Chains A and B, each alone.
Chain A
Amino acid sequence: MLLRKNKIKRALLYTLYLVIIVILFLEIFLRFYYPFPRSLTGANWEMAVNRTFTLHNDLNKRLDAVIVNHRNSIGFRGEEPPVDIENKLSILTIGGSTTASSFISDGKTWTDLLGEKLKKQCPKVWINNAGIDGHSSYGHLNFLYYYVARLKFKPKVALFLVGVNDIDRDDLTVVDSSKYTSSAFSTAWFRRHSKTVSFLYDVKWIIHPVHVYNDKQNWDFKDFKSIHLEKAYIDSALKKQDVILQRFRERLTKIIALCRQYKIQPVFITQPLVTGDGTVNGGNPNIDLHVWNDTENGLLFWKKLQLYNNVTMQVADANKVFCIDLATQMPKDTLYFYDIMHYTNEGSAKVADVIYNALTPHLTKDGVNF
C-alpha cells in the first residue's frame, strides 16, 4: 500500500516537473520567436513586422495562384511610414477580413488601389491597410486604444469598413472604456503575463481559417445548398439583433470619440454583400438562398447586415462623421465577390473606385490640398 502511494506521489511530482520545465521553456522561447503574425497578450498588441507570407492557392481559380502578404515595420500592409509622416496625408484602413484582404496579393487590395488613385491627385498620400481578420467594432476599439495609440504617429484619416463581424455577436457587450483595460478579460492576468497562454489562444483560432479556406461551399457560387426560411424565422432572427445593435451603436460612438481624441478623422464605410437582391445569377441557383452559417441563407444575412449598415449611417450622421455607403453602391455581382462578402481582385478595384469617388470630394472640402 505504502509502495503504491509512493509510486503515485513520484508520478505526480514527475508530471509537475515535466509541466513546469516545458512551460518555462515555452515562455522563454516564445519571447524570442513567436510563430504567428500577431498576438494579443492581455492589452499588449504585437504584430508581425517585416515579414512576408506566401500562400499557394489551389482551391479557388478566381483568386491568384500565389498570394503574397507583406507586413511592414509597424505590422500593416503597405509602404513603410516615411520619416516625414507628419507632412503626409496619412490614411489607415481599419476593418475585418474584408479590409485585411488576406487572400488578395499585395498591390491588388482595395487599400492599395485606393492609395494609387489618391496619390495621382495628391502625392503626399500615405496609406496602410490595418485590417485584421475577424475583427468587429470591439476589436477596432481595442486596436485603436492599444495599438494605434502607441504608434509614433497618428494617421490623419481612418477609414472604418464595419458591420459584418458584429452580426449576432451578443458576446461583445462591453462598451465602457474602462473595460478596455486588460483586467476586463476573464483570463487577463495570464494573457497579459504569459506568452504561452497567448500562444494557446492563437492556436485555437488557427482552426478557424483552416475551416474558411477549406470550406468549398464558401467559394463556389455554382454548387451550393439552398435553404428557404419562413417569415416568422426571419423576423425573429432580426429581432434578436436589437440589443446587439445598441451595443454596436455605442461602440461606433466610442470609436469616433477615440479618433477625435487622437486627432484622427474617422470615415465610416457600410459593408456590402453579394446577396440580397433576389437575382438569379447567370442561370445559377439564386444566391440569396445560399446556405449561410448552417441555418440561415444569404438573404437573411443581408437583412441583418442592413440593420448594422443603417446604424453605421445614423451614428455617422449624428456625430458629423463622413460615411460612404459602399453597401448600396457595390454591384451584387459574383464577379466582385469570391464568397458572400469578400472581394475578388475585380471587386477590390470596384471598392477602391467607389471609395475614391466619394472620399476625394470630402477630403477636398475638408481642406486637404489635392
Chain B
Amino acid sequence: MDFLKDLWNYLKERKKWWLAPLIIIFILIGVLLILGGTSLAPFIYTLF
C-alpha cells in the first residue's frame, strides 16, 4: 500500500500523469493472474 502511495506522490509531484496507465496496467496484470489461478475459475455460471 505504501508503495502505491509513493507512486501516486511521485506522479503528482513530477506531474508525470502519462505514466498512470502503466501502473494501472501492472495492477490489472496482477489481478488477471490471480483470477486465473483462483480455484473458483472453473465454476463460472454462465446462466445461458
Contacts and interface: CB of A to CB of B under 8 A. Distances in A.
B28 interface: yes
A53 B32 contact: no
Contacts of A139: 46, 48
B29 A18 contact: no
Contact of B41 (A35, A40, A134, A138): A35
Contacts of B39: 53-56
A134 B42 CA distance: 12
Given A18-B21, A35-B33, A35-B35, A209 B40 contact: yes
Contacts of B33: 33, 35
A239 to B, nearest CB: 24
Interface residues of B, number: 22
B37 to A, nearest CB: 8
A252 interface: no
A139 B44 CA distance: 14
Given A25-B28, A69-B42, A33 B48 contact: no
Interface string B9-40: 00000000110110011001100110110011
B3 interface: no
Given A29-B29, A102-B43, A138 B21 contact: no
A28 to B, nearest CB: 10
A210 B40 CA distance: 7
A213 interface: yes
Given A33-B36, A54-B39, A205 B44 contact: yes
Nearest to B37: A35
A189 interface: no
A36 B48 contact: no
Contact of B47 (A14, A18, A37, A208): A208
A99 to B, nearest CB: 14
A209 B43 contact: yes
Contacts of B44: 36-38, 133, 202, 205-206, 208-209
11 contacts: A35-B32, A35-B35, A35-B36, A36-B36, A36-B44, A53-B39, A71-B42, A136-B48, A205-B47, A208-B45, A209-B43
The 3 closest A-B pairs by CB, nearest first: A35-B36, A134-B45, A139-B48
